[in-house]
Chain A
Amino acid sequence: AQSVTQLGSHVSVSEGALVLLRCNYSSSVPPYLFWYVQYPNQGLQLLLKYTSAATLVKGINGFEAEFKKSETSFHLTKPSAHMSDAAEYFCAVSPKDDKIIFGKGTRLHILP
């Protein structure tokens, strides 16, 4: 069975500071991994995805994530936080072309 664990339901960072959202996964097969963002009262937007190509994945809005098989991690980072980054972030795992299993989410707060 596949699952993801997001460490920290709430993360606060100052504007301009590094954003680090942690995600660990469990999978019995080589996984596809995703990060989604959800703004209030909106649907899910794909930030980036890992599909077994390059281990460092660059996404939209300056976000990137690194797949580390030895640590079963897929942490999301952004060098400099912006107020517009405040949202809920979901890490997710999926076998190829199948349903997506989501983590519980991390709410990112940006402090002025």
Chain B
Amino acid sequence: DTGVSQDPRHKITKRGQNVTFRCDPISEHNRLYWYRQTLGQGPEFLTYFQNEAQLEKSRLLSDRFSAERPKGSFSTLEIQRTEQGDSAMYLCASSSPNEQYFGPGTRLTVT
């Protein structure tokens, strides 16, 4: 399977802990996007990369959030000092011209 993969699929953490998610895009795709989807809502854009460069960040991405794509391949999204409001599905997508391919998501539950 050469689709977008995300790890872990599920993460339960206690408030105040740090968590890190990983996304492996389709290998030939230069662009990589992160979205967040809360219950009952559509996905919301967080940030995206063109190769290793982070080109745009949403205002939703507070200082506790950081994303990297160090070699222009996989990406990580870290949330520091998690809060209950961070509970959501975190979706990654990689992009060919005109289409984004989504991974299965990482569901984060903050207790």
**Total interface residues in chain A, CB < 8 Å:** 22
A90–B42 touching, CB < 8 Å? yes
Instruction: Specify the main secondary structure of chain A where it touches its partner.
Output: loop
Is B67 on the interface with A (CB-CB < 8 A)?
no
For the complex formed, measure the closest distance between the CB of A32 and the CB atoms of chain B, giving whole angstroms: 7
Hey, which chain A residues are within 8 Å of B33, CB to CB? 99-100
Hey, which chain A residues are within 8 Å of B97, CB to CB? 97
Say which residue of B31, B40, B41, B91 sits within 8 Å of A43 (CB atoms).
B91
B42–A105 touching, CB < 8 Å? yes
Hey, which chain A residues are within 8 Å of B91, CB to CB? 43-44
Is A101 on the interface with B (CB-CB < 8 A)?
yes
B95–A97 touching, CB < 8 Å? yes
For the complex formed, measure the closest distance between the CB of B42 and the CB atoms of chain A, giving whole angstroms: 3
A contact residues vs B (CB 8 Å cutoff): 9, 32, 36, 41-46, 49, 51, 90, 92, 96-97, 99-105
**Smallest CB-CB A-B distances: 6 pairs:** A102-B42, A44-B102, A43-B104, A99-B45, A43-B102, A102-B43
| Cβ contacts A to B, 13 pairs, < 8 Å | A42-B104, A43-B91, A43-B102, A46-B101, A49-B99, A90-B43, A96-B98, A99-B45, A100-B100, A102-B42, A102-B44, A105-B40, A105-B42
